[in-house]
Structure 1
Amino acid sequence: MFFIQMSGFPGSGKSTLALEIANRTNCIIIDHDVTKSALLHSINEDEINGKPLGGIAYNIDFALVDFYLSQGRNVILDSPCLYDELIDKGTIITQKYNANYKYIECYLDDFVEINRRLKTRNKMVSQISEVKSLETFNRTLKSSKRPLNCKCFSVNSGKSLDTYINEVIDYINS
């Protein structure tokens, strides 16, 4: 049994890769944008701002991860990984269920391509539609968190998925 923690800038291809992994391994995807968008649709915007809402969404995400791992299912958490707490929760929950922890980063250091992808995707209410500045892009790209005691796998998601998917599957199975 495994738990995959996805990582990468919005628009870097995490959801595309997660879906392909799920199709090949029959695992469940917990998509942070779905959780957060559902919460946004459920409340009045004046009731709560985005930062606490993101934390609430992550708590729901991890409750679902816990639930599915408890049933012996493989799980992917599709979200950026910008907080140390996410790494901590991911590694603790895998220990609880004796699951293999896998960390997959979609890395795309291309401001223009990221913005093209963000502007052309079918956007959920919780998702950004563009990156306003190169400075913000670079700062966020560099602030991605990685586990210290785990072999991480990074893909150049500027390339076609079919050029790296087999390596990703090999990493998951290792």
Structure 2
Amino acid sequence: MAGEEQSGPPAAVERVVVAMKGHPGSGKSTAAHAIAAALRCPLLDKDDVRDCTLRLERAAAGDSGMLNELSYAVLWRVAEKQLRLGLSVVVDSPLSRRAHLDELARLPAALVVVVECRPGDEDEWRRRLEERGDLLADGDGWHKPKTWDELERLVEGYRGCTDYDIGDVPRIVVDTTDPMVGAEAIAARVEDFIRSLLARAH
């Protein structure tokens, strides 16, 4: 499977935050579900929070930026609660800005591992995104891009901020469009990567 692994200094902890990273439709959620199942830990999905802000969005005359940041703030708070309970977590969000990664890095005594979903086959990525777009209604997922043009406008609006230096945070890059590798295989690879980091910490 195409991909790369970047290992920073390990932390002497057992709790792990698996932070998904990637653009909409890149396969993050499918991989995140498989990883959470393999690790038997809670899956925290930013979309679950954002989906619930539709009524607020309408009432606030479409102040998307504020409500999007509120969704992240809720996500970090829930993640912190799970870590304080001694649990590892998988956080499913685009992780589109360095500030978002910094928030995760500030969570108490946990090893943060980034799983970056980088589709190698753009045609397959486009097909999946537009297929999903056909299924999205004015409820769950109302805020997600539904067409390739919408995704391109969203990425253009990021102005390159998604390609930031993650420093010494351990990272594994996966190609979620590789036809030879399914979500379970990605999860197994991530699990092995985490085990190797924790082994180095002891």
TM-score normalised by the chain length of structure 1: 0.86
Distance change (3 Å), C-alpha of 1:76 and 1:163: closer
Partner of 1:8: 22
Q: Percent identity?
A: 24
Matched, 1:155 2:174: yes
Partner of 1:49: 63
Q: Report matched runs for 1:27-46 at 5 Å.
A: 27-46=41-60
Q: Report matched runs for 1:37-116 at 5 Å.
A: 37-93=51-107, 96=108, 98-116=109-127
**Aligned partners of 1:6 and 1:80 also within 8 Å:** yes
Q: How far, CA to CA, are the matches of 1:9 and 1:109 in structure 2?
A: 13
Q: Which shows bigger deviation, 105-114 or 59-68? A: 105-114
Per-residue deviation, 1:145:
3.7
- In the alignment of these two chains, the number of paired residues is 171
1:131 corresponds, among 148, 151, 161, to 148
Distance change (3 Å), C-alpha of 1:135 and 1:17: closer
SS at the partner of 1:89? helix
**Aligned partners of 1:111 and 1:137 also within 8 Å:** no
Q: How far, CA to CA, are the matches of 1:165 and 1:78 in structure 2?
A: 14
Unaligned runs of 5+ in 1: none
Q: How far, CA to CA, are the matches of 1:37 and 1:20 in structure 2?
A: 22
Unaligned runs of 5+ in 2: 1-14, 197-202
Which structure's CA Rg is the greater one? Answer: 2
**In the TM superposition, what whole-angstrom CA distance separates every residue of 1:14-72 from its partner, at most 9, and x where no partner exists?**
11111001111111111111111111245525434211111011001101111111111
Per-residue deviation, 1:102:
0.7
SS at the partner of 1:44? helix
Per-residue deviation, 1:151:
2.1
Partner of 2:10: none
Q: Which shows bigger deviation, 3-12 or 141-150? A: 141-150
Q: How far, CA to CA, are the matches of 1:26 and 1:153 in structure 2?
A: 20
> What is the alpha-carbon root mean square deviation over aligned residues?
2.4
TM-score normalised by the chain length of structure 2: 0.75
Q: How far, CA to CA, are the matches of 2:83 and 2:25 in structure 1?
A: 27
Q: How far, CA to CA, are the matches of 2:143 and 2:44 in structure 1?
A: 15
**Aligned partners of 1:9 and 1:141 also within 8 Å:** no
Distance change (3 Å), C-alpha of 1:154 and 1:141: farther
**Aligned partners of 2:112 and 2:170 also within 8 Å:** no
**Aligned partners of 1:2 and 1:74 also within 8 Å:** yes
Q: How far, CA to CA, are the matches of 1:156 and 1:129 in structure 2?
A: 21
